[in-house]
Structure 1
Amino acid sequence: MSNRIFITGIGTGVGKTLTSACVTEALCADYWKPVQTGLEEGTDTETIRSLLSNTTSVCHKEVYCLREPASPHLAARMEQVQIEVAPILQQATVIQPADRPLVIEGAGGLMVPLNEEVFTLDFILQLQANVIIVAQNYLGSINHAMLTARVLQQQKAPVLGWIFSGEYHSNEDDIVRWSGYPKLGRIPQVQQVDKAFVKQTAEQLKGIISAAGYPH
């Protein structure tokens, strides 16, 4: 089993970064967001670093940092930068810990383009990473969730399961049943997200994710 976990979402703003923090904390894993866009709002790496309590996890530096809050290929085009996948894959090998997982956070969903030819889905397959899908309930979310599940199934990508964020809705039980992917947990909506919340949520996730073969 690959010791890489790729956090993807059914769309933008569904809770990937908070989920990444909780999974990283649960497994004392390393964290990496190879391509960061929207620099004016700060980086997800900085956010993750501020939310972790354990002293084992390392938050690794991005390979590409782009100012525009847009898809990587568009942000790169606006800055006249070419995102190359080869150096990202090479860096993944360099930073991969020997004894714990590497949690990799993507930008948006599976069909977000990294450059003119490579989509996030292609990148996941090249990384040989196990996938956790983050979903949230909103109008249209069933369609987005099932399209995400279907394309992962078609590509035979290894999927650990779903993590749901926000308020509970019965839709998530339907999505689990229809997709055949298990529910790993949920991250509730709270007023304040801090280290204590991430640590508490991580404790709830630890056993379930570890059951998939991950050390902690």
Structure 2
Amino acid sequence: MTPADFPERIFVTGTDTGIGKTLVSSLLLRTLGYRYLKPIQSGIEEETDTTLVQRLSGLGAEHFWAESYCTRTPCSPHLSARIDGIEISLEQILADIEQISGPLIVEGAGGLLVPLNNQEFMLDLIRALNYPVILIARSELGTINHTLLSLQALRHAGLEVFGVVLNGPPTPENAEAIELFGATRVLAQIPLLPDLTAASLQQCALDYFGGGCR
């Protein structure tokens, strides 16, 4: 797969939290040179996902858009916002995204059914944007069930699945099952990277997504 094969706007989501969405977003930014937005950042005591992606991708500040919501506590967006005394508005996020021109990667928080507020879920944001989706999943035991359930939810919402990326030790059998039963393609199987730096990300981009920024 080469950079020319990717759509101009992509939503990166996952089967869970801590699944590698930010790593894959960094790889895609490094490959495609798009802009990047993480609308909701839950937990800001350490490095945010936006600053991590900027550091790993090696791209300038002009490629990165400020989060619509940054909350202090690393938990579900609806709860983290409640702790901070605010409510996440889907309309506000969509209005912010409307201000961004050109190719864009939007990274979600958690999985598809994490609540944003008392009425809406991450899946509602993805459906409102209607961008092709890249689903990030673990490579190991349990991934088939979690990945197929997430694919089913995306398709039930009428969304296009561009493909799946598996993170972790290579498991060809799991990848084959996901492609067969999920009627999708596994875009890459990315092993654990012991040294997570801009240089190692550049090599990974070359290995799995066909090169550096176009």
TM-score (norm 2): 0.90
Question: What secondary structure, in the 3-state scheme, does the structure 2 residue paired with 1:50 have?
Answer: helix
Residue 42 of structure 1 and its aligned partner are, at CA, apart by: 2.2
Unaligned runs of 5+ in 1: 209-214
The one of 157, 164, 170 equivalent to 1:168 is 170
The one of 61, 73, 96 equivalent to 1:91 is 96
Partners of 2:52 and 2:164 lie apart in 1 by 22
Q: How many residues align?
A: 207
Partner of 1:43: 48
Partners of 2:72 and 2:59 lie apart in 1 by 30
Residue 47 of structure 1 and its aligned partner are, at CA, apart by: 0.3
Counterpart amino acid of residue 176 in structure 2: D
2:139–2:189 Cα contact (<8 Å) kept: no
* Pair 25,56 (structure 1): closer, same or farther in 2 beyond 3 Å: farther
Question: What secondary structure, in the 3-state scheme, does the structure 2 residue paired with 1:133 have?
Answer: strand
Unaligned runs of 5+ in 2: 1-5
Residue 204 of structure 1 and its aligned partner are, at CA, apart by: 3.4
RMSD (CA atoms): 2.0
Partners of 2:80 and 2:210 lie apart in 1 by 38
Counterpart amino acid of residue 194 in structure 1: T
Partner of 1:189: 192
TM-score (norm 1): 0.89
1:8–1:110 Cα contact (<8 Å) kept: yes
Partners of 2:64 and 2:169 lie apart in 1 by 29
2:140–2:168 Cα contact (<8 Å) kept: no
Q: Which moved more, 1:13-22 or 1:190-199?
A: 190-199
1:27–1:206 Cα contact (<8 Å) kept: no
Residue 148 of structure 1 and its aligned partner are, at CA, apart by: 0.2
2:22–2:107 Cα contact (<8 Å) kept: yes
What per-residue deviation string (whole Å, max 9, x for no partner) do you get for residues 10-44 of structure 1? 11111110000001111111111010001113200
Partner of 1:67: 72
Percent pairwise identity: 38
Answer yes or no: is 1:198 the counterpart of 2:186. Answer: no
Question: What secondary structure, in the 3-state scheme, does the structure 1 residue paired with 2:67 have?
Answer: coil
Partners of 2:179 and 2:70 lie apart in 1 by 35
Residue 96 of structure 1 and its aligned partner are, at CA, apart by: 2.8
Answer yes or no: is 1:31 the counterpart of 2:33. Answer: no
Partners of 1:138 and 1:11 lie apart in 2 by 13
Partner of 1:140: 142
Counterpart amino acid of residue 62 in structure 1: E
Answer yes or no: is 1:124 the counterpart of 2:129. Answer: no
Partners of 2:178 and 2:140 lie apart in 1 by 13
Partners of 2:144 and 2:110 lie apart in 1 by 16
What per-residue deviation string (whole Å, max 9, x for no partner) do you get for residues 23-79 of structure 1? 111111111101000111320001011111345961111110001110100101111
1:29–1:57 Cα contact (<8 Å) kept: no
4+ residue stretches of structure 1 with deviation over 4 A?
Answer: 54-57
Question: What secondary structure, in the 3-state scheme, does the structure 2 residue paired with 1:186 have?
Answer: strand
Counterpart amino acid of residue 53 in structure 2: I
Answer yes or no: is 1:58 the counterpart of 2:63. Answer: yes
